[in-house]
Structure 1
Amino acid sequence: MPQKAADILVETLIDWGIDTVYGLPGDGINGIMEALRTRQERIRFIQVRHEESAAFMACAHAKWTGRIGCCLSTSGPGGIHLLNGLYDAKLDRAPVLAITGLQYHDLLETFTQQDVDLDKLFQDVSVFNTRVMGAAHMAKATALACRSALARQGVAHLSVPVDVQEEAQEDAARSPRNKPHPLPSTPAEGLLLPRPGDVARAAEILNGASRVAILAGRGALGATAELERCADLLAAPVAKALLGKAVLPDTHPLTTGGIGLYGTFGTHHAMAQCDALLIIGSSFPYVEYYPQPGQARGVQIDRDAQRIGLRHPAEVGLVGDARATLEALNAQLRRKTDRAFLEATQAEARRWRDTLSRAVDEPRQPMHPAVPVRALSERLPADAVVVTDSGHNTGLTARYLDLGPGHAFGVSGLLASMACGLPYAVAAALAFPGRAVFGIVGDGGLAMQLGELATAVRYRLPVKLLVIKNNTFGQIKWEQLLFLGNPEYACDLTPIDFARAAEAIGARGFSVRDPAQLGAALDAMLAVEGPVVLEVEVDPNEPLLPAVVSESYRKNLEKALAQGTAGAEALRAALGRSPAREMLATGGG
């Protein structure tokens, strides 16, 4: 049969190894939908309930697999809806191809229906962005989009007018310089390596320091063994940015856990006392949690030269693949015999875990929000995939859920967007068939994209959602109190019965308030084969605090509580309990 432009598009996607497209049908992409329908044995189309979710899923797919994630939307509002999930991919450097429809090519910018110039709209979010002008343009444009997404680790965008999708290849007018030839369907292979002289300078700095700390992020995920070797040689505690949570097991003796608002006593001690900092694959943005200016010499490893020195001064930037760069660096490091700094940091890390345990062990109603997270942690299968949404639930997961060697973890990183949790979980279940997938989400974020539970039901995905229900935007509330000392305002939520909503959508639903019933409910959730929601009602007053609360935050808290924050007495009581009490104590690290 004669090939149309849409056929060429989908064949090129298949050539580039794209096996899944997330999206919603619409009249602006009818030609593309037909090309997908006739090739559904070779490429699957996952129907979502909102285009924002399609983009989140494509981003998560790219993070999980390392391959191109692909999302598809119709013209106008469909393309607009993609943007939030695409910015998630841009900021976390995930290779994603976004395909959008457009109105008829000769009606564009004439105020026709859904006449949105998506080329201009996508300029900021994309590393490659073009409008396909005809069937003769399609193959090369699509191949370049795929290549750019992979090579530049970002979003590529193709917008295709609805009539161009239907143009037959034999009818396409080809310009004199457009000579058809195939483009290789993979980018050039090869490891990116730093210059040998830079490696030698980095080793000199690290060997000469007496108290080295390491900050590892998502870029270090493929280099666990090399990171472990480096940390051991340098007697360096490893703090983990959120996207790097799975780079070392949470119980590993060399890691201190998270950093920043989700940090620990151990991380605070390491950053406050180190005289050198090695950053590996991280752009953790909150500079107040790094060593003080002038305190620590800096070495940074990153694939992207743009990221070197952004957060902490880097005397040496090693631009290269984390695994290969660490191998080269480790060969020049001398094992430190003085382990006092590491041992002191490990003592603070143990004190942190003991402090957290006291909160979890306290039986009361409503329960501490960490209780269900720790209970799930103790039941995680060895190959579990865990996602979280953005909010108070993120901090609970960062601190109370221990990942092991076989686990994977995902979340919206630099964008920190709410509503990512359920779409990430759907993408994980599709990317890793046979593995258990768990989403730890809040009631605020889940309400934004609850419809995607129907996607999990439609495709019979084993997505298990633990909903931390506190009927408030918990993180936002504590940010209002901490950051400026303002009373909480407009953070309370109208309660939703997520267990009943899950049953209405076609999933299983459970609800727990009494901690004595939590274990049985979690076991029942684990026994369900398909999608399931376990809603756990928790104390809405439990604070989200950094491990060591600064004097300015302490003053802001007191100011906000004194100015009439609703439920101030309950909030004061929560601040007096463990672990908040220890976080507020002076000399906490």
Structure 2
Amino acid sequence: MTRIASEALIERLIDWGVDTIFGLPGDGINGIMEGLRRHRDRIRFVLVRHEEAAAFMATGYAKATGRLGVCLATSGPGGIHLLNGLYDAKLDHVPVLAITGMQETSVLGTDYQQEVRLEHLYADLADYNQMISNPAQLPGLVDIAVRTAMARRGVAHLTFPNDLQIADADADPWAHVAPARPPETTPHYLSAPGTPRTEDLQRAADVLNAARRPALLVGAGALHARAEVTEVADVLGAPVIKTLPGKAVIEDDSPLTTGGLGLLGTKPSEELIDDIDTLFMVGTNFPYTAHMPKAGTVRVVQLEADPIRAGRRIPTEVPMVGDAKEGLRALLPLLRRNDNRAHLGKYRKAMDQWRENMKALQSPDRDPIAPQYLMGVIDDLADDDAILTCDSGTVATWAARHWTIRGDRQFYLSGNLATMAPGLPYAVAMQHAFPGRQVIAYIGDGGFAMLMAEFLTAVQHDLPIKVVVNNNNSLGQILWEQMVLGYPEHGVRYPEPFTDFSAWARACRAHGAKVTKAVDVESAVRTALSHNGPALVDVDVNPDEPPMPGKVSYEQATKFAQAFLKGQPRRVSIASTLFKDRIQQLGE
């Protein structure tokens, strides 16, 4: 049997340690599918229902494992469908390789059916973007693509014309003198040195040692540096603020943290950011500058893996380039212990009060069901090493505030792209990567409906993911954003009655339960978590529960009131919900 060029592609990916490819076949990649079939004992192909989901799965796989995620789509529309999931990888800086098909080389440029020049379409997206034009380029181009995705923490793209996919793997019809073959047999990735320059470390230490009211702002780039972040914070007496993608950097019940920052963050973090004299940013390029200190009011040190991003968000006195874990280890011997715990104690006390307020909102006595209660039940019942995936929208607020990082728990969502629909594909990919761990997808009804077919993918691959649908029968986040702009809501609620997604789960031959009363939430979630297989719980929650910012500004309150005055259609129900929230926080 002739060895085809697609085998050279697949074999080189196997050499790189790739064990899983997420994708959807098509006539533009039949040769690649044959290459996968011939090596099916060494690499797994996960058949999905939508190419967007394949890209999300590759992104989720990369986020959770730190390894290369790989997705595959056919030419034309298949490659187009990958884009949203791949932009999630690009904006959250995770390594993903996208492989797409392309029409035969003899018809390119003739407006052939499904002829889309994907290498042009991907020009803004991909850090490496190449159409294969000769089998002799393989496996050299694979090496460059993988190394680029890993080094630049982004997307690489290879598009492969289908006539070349089935060509002889050793063909070189033009007899090139030096085809792009790699020099070594087994490829490997050489990471850049992770320790900042000595002089930068000393400058950083000088600034941090002089701080009287410091704080750390840590992000996803520090997820692997929990011990080092904790030790630095303790030495400096500095509270730790966490970005949402960096929620799992340290435990939520740690006395060192004030939780998140921004619209989904906490009041103590908002107050802290206005009180500090020094900010140490570690593993984050936090984009929401409205929630950062005003330029020139604080001294700033940043430890960032990418020299392009170092110092980008706020005037930075000492930008350092390096890995969070290695950089903090090198910095620690230069830091002096701050024995004055007043600053840290002030925000520890504020955070204790915040946690009490959030706990008060997890009331089982509310009707309709409070979404905070639903998330609180999941938090109480989930394993200490559970992985929670989340969609964008109001669900992100409830997860940010009521999903507690403890033990080896993890939390993943679309950070910078903030797209809807990745929660379910993420869960599928992460259950593949970690078959022995509990993986829970916490999703809104809007996001679930977009890619709900992937629940059937989980069933057919026998993946025991648990899906909890926070069903408010609306596009909740947009609803509240309209009101904060001073506009009464419009076009954001679906017609009643609420959709029953549990029927879809049962149609897929999985466990499905519908919950409409708070008294049934705990038993339904407990049953789903203990079920030996895929399970879905669809919970009707209060559609008028607002995801209020941790600290409401005067402008936000004014605009909110204007929406009421202009004729907000459900103002009575919303006002009643806000009143109940306040009463419970004060203690019924």
Give the TM interval when normalised to the shorter protein.
over 0.9
Check conservation: 1:444, 1:493, Cα contact below 8 A: no
1:263 to 239, 243, 265: 265
TM norm structure 2: 0.97
Q: Which runs of 5+ in 2 are unaligned?
A: none
Q: Is the 8 A contact 1:96 1:149 kept in 2?
A: yes
Structure 1: runs of 5+ lacking an equivalent: 584-589
Instruction: Determine the structure 2 residue equivalent to 1:11.
Output: 11
Counterpart of 1:503 (choices 495, 502, 506) is: 506
Aligned residues of 2:4 and 2:166 also touching (Cα < 8 A): yes
**C-alpha deviation, 1:361, in angstroms:** 2.7
Task: Please report how far the alpha carbon of residue 574 of structure 1 lies from its aligned counterpart in structure 2 after TM superposition.
Answer: 2.1
Give the corresponding residue for 2:121. 121
Counterpart of 1:557 in 2: which secondary structure?
helix
Aligned to 1:526: 529
Cα distance in structure 2, aligned partners of 1:568 and 1:428: 41
Q: In structure 1, what residue type is equivalent to 2:319?
A: G
Instruction: Name the SS for the 2:581 alignment partner.
Output: coil
Structure 1: how far apart are the matches of 2:582 and 2:108? 59
Query: 2:23 — aligned with what?
Result: 23
In structure 2, relative to structure 1, the CA distance for the partners of 1:346 and 1:425 (3 Å cut) is same
Q: Distance in 2 between matches of 1:425 and 1:526?
A: 14
Alignment equivalent of 2:212, drawn from 210, 213, 225: 210
The number of aligned residues is 582
Q: How far apart are 1:506 and its partner, in Å? A: 2.1
Written as runs of structure 1 = structure 2, the 5 A alignment for 1:460-479 is: 460-479=462-481
Distance 1:580 1:488, change over 3 A: farther
Partner of 1:90: 90
* Corresponding residue of 1:295: 297
Structure 2 vs 1, CA of residues 580 and 297 (structure 1 numbering), >3 Å: closer, same or farther? Answer: farther
Distance 2:364 2:157 in 1: 51
Matches within 5 A, 1:557-568: 557-568=560-571
Moved more, 505-514 or 470-479: 505-514
Deviation string for 1:251-297 (max 9, x for gaps)? 11101111111111221121111100001111221111112232211
Show the counterpart of 1:514.
Answer: 517
Cα shift at 1:510: 0.6
Secondary structure in 2 aligned to 1:349?
Answer: helix
2:61 match: 61
Letter paired with 1:338: N
Runs of 4+ in structure 1 off by over 3 angstroms are: 179-184, 579-583
**TM-score, scaled to structure 1:** 0.97
Q: Residue 459 of structure 2 aligns with which residue?
A: 457
Amino acid at match of 2:406: G
**For the Cα contact (< 8 Å) 2:363–2:370, is it kept in 1?**
no
2:136 pairs with 1:136: yes
The one-letter code of the counterpart of 1:404 is: R
**Identical aligned pairs, as a percentage?**
43
SS at match of 1:450: coil
Pick from 375, 392, 396 the counterpart of residue 394 of structure 2.
Answer: 392
Per the alignment, residue 485 of structure 1 pairs with 486
Amino acid at match of 1:2: T
The Cα of 1:545 is off from its aligned counterpart by 1.5
How much is the aligned-residue C-alpha RMSD, in angstroms?
1.5
Comparing 184-193 with 227-236, which one deviates more in the overlay?
Answer: 184-193
- Residue 244 of structure 1 is matched in structure 2 by 246
AA aligned to 2:380 is: E
Give the equivalent residue in structure 2 for 1:379: 381
In 2, Cα distance between equivalents of 1:181 and 1:121: 28
Deviations 1:224-258 (A, max 9, x none): 10000000011111111011111111111101111
The one-character-per-residue Cα deviations of 1:340-370 (angstroms, maximum 9, x if unpaired) are 1111111111111111122113612101111
Distance in 1 (CA, whole Å) between partners of 2:96 and 2:360 is 43
Match of 1:363 in 2: 365
Moved more, 457-466 or 171-180: 171-180
Q: Matches of 2:350 and 2:76 in 1, distance apart?
A: 53
Q: Is the 8 A contact 1:301 1:325 kept in 2?
A: yes
Alpha-carbon distance in 1 for matches of 2:171, 2:394? 56
Asked if structure 1 preserves the Cα contact closer than 8 Å seen for 2:195 and 2:330, the reply is no
Number of the residue aligned with 1:586: none
Which stretch shifts more, 25-34 or 303-312? 303-312
**Closer/same/farther in 2, CA of residues 387 and 77 from structure 1, 3 Å limit:** same
In the TM superposition, what whole-angstrom CA distance separates every residue of 1:93-134 from its partner, at most 9, and x where no partner exists?
111000000011111121111010100001111110000012
Distance in 2 separating the partners of 1:186 and 1:485: 55
Paired AA for residue 361 in structure 1: S
What is the deviation of 1:181?
4.4
CA distance in 1, matches of 2:94, 2:120: 21
Say whether the 8 Å CA contact 1:367–1:514 is kept in structure 2: yes
CA contact (8 A) 2:139 2:182 kept: no
Q: Check conservation: 2:140, 2:180, Cα contact below 8 A.
A: no
Specify the SS of the correspondent of 2:188: coil
Does the 8 Å contact 1:5/1:134 carry over to 2? Answer: no
Once residues 77 and 48 of structure 2 are traced to their aligned partners in structure 1, the CA distance between those partners, rounded to angstroms, is 15
User: For the structure 1 residues 580 and 241, does the alpha-carbon distance in structure 2 shift closer, same or farther, using more than 3 Å as the test?
Assistant: farther
Distance 1:36 1:42 in 2: 9
Q: CA deviation at 1:190?
A: 5.5
Q: Distance in 2 between matches of 1:91 and 1:217?
A: 14
